[in-house]
Amino acid sequence: MKILVTGGSGFIGTCITGHLLENGHSVKILDLKEPGIRHKRLEFVKKSILDKIADDIRGCDAVFHFAALLGVDNSDKKPLETMKINLEGSVNVFKSAIDAGVKSMIYSSSSEVYGEPRELPIKEDSVKGPVSTYGVSKLAAEIYAKAFNQEFNTNIRIVRFFNVYGPGQESNWVVPIFLNKALKNEPIKVFGNGAQTRCFTYVGDIADGVMKVLEKGKNCEAYNIGNSQPTTILELAQIIKELAKSKSEIVKVGFGKETRLKEREIEYRIPDISKMKSLGWQPKTMVREGIKKILESMKNN
């Protein structure tokens, strides 16, 4: 297959692209940043998802839409830009694919769409209640995707990622923040009591999951792709300190007055991954092994 990947030069997009190429597919990346990998079956188009892109999609068999303005903190500082890129940009990708005659798409959403969960573990049909601009933008694009599926008979499948981490991730996410502090023997700050619970998912497992959805996923369905190992933020800090052989002190700090409001902090984010398991997928890399892989990558680079 020939697959167009929006945001293919980003952290997750790069890993997805690598998996696609390893599985014999051809890839066309549409991004504003040059990809970090080169391959004879890889083509690059420097464009925004807000541009006219139907001609760039034409001739492809599927579209993976991974381009977005990322992060809760970042989106809260740029709410209108977030909605423009993540919602208007997504609608443009969906429409452009239809115009190009491509109906098979995978849209990367986020566990942020659930907000504070009403049930644990979180199922794909659990109540949605995003508390961030980023989460709202992702959910709004999901609603458009479902509308396109009904109106235009497209097959847009939705993948919701849970706390992705891995080598090459930008420095403003929790795992690299903690790692950088640990390697410098500086204090590692944990908000509140550190009991906030997440299921950190290694980027390689994310890519494997997306491949399973491509190969075996049901038409127009949504899938949670996450780890099955709940980890508190305090435990994450302790694991990173231990594996980095760090002398850092783990310091509990109060919540801030802007983004890190206690009222907006999600206490538990644990996915039900039964649907992904039914496709033959489950996470392979638990947190300790994932942190080791990042440290090894940092050492080699």
268 belongs to the catalytic site: no
CB neighbour list of residue 294: distance below 8 Å, 6 or more residues apart: 165, 166, 167, 175, 179
d(CA 214, CA 47): 24
Distance CA 144, CA 160 (A): 15
| Token reading at 57 | 């999609």
Task: For residue 143, give both structure tokens.
Answer: 């609603």
How far is it, in rounded angstroms, from Cα 236 to Cα 238? 5
H or E element in which residue 241 lies: helix 233-243
**Residue 14 burial class via C-beta count within 10 angstroms: exposed 0-12, middle 13-18, buried 19 and up:** buried
> From the candidates 134, 165, 202, 223, which is the catalytic residue?
134
CB atoms < 10 A from the CB of 301, how many? 7
Backbone angles phi, psi at 70, to 5 degrees: -100, 155
Say if CB 60 and CB 5 are below 8 A apart: no
Report whether 124 contacts 223 (CB < 8 A).
yes
| Cβ proximity of 182 and 131 under 8 Å | no
Q: 22 in helix, strand or coil?
A: helix
- 296's CB contacts (< 8 A; 6+ apart) are none
The rounded distance, in Å, linking the Cα atoms of 181 and 117 is 31
Annotated catalytic residues are 134
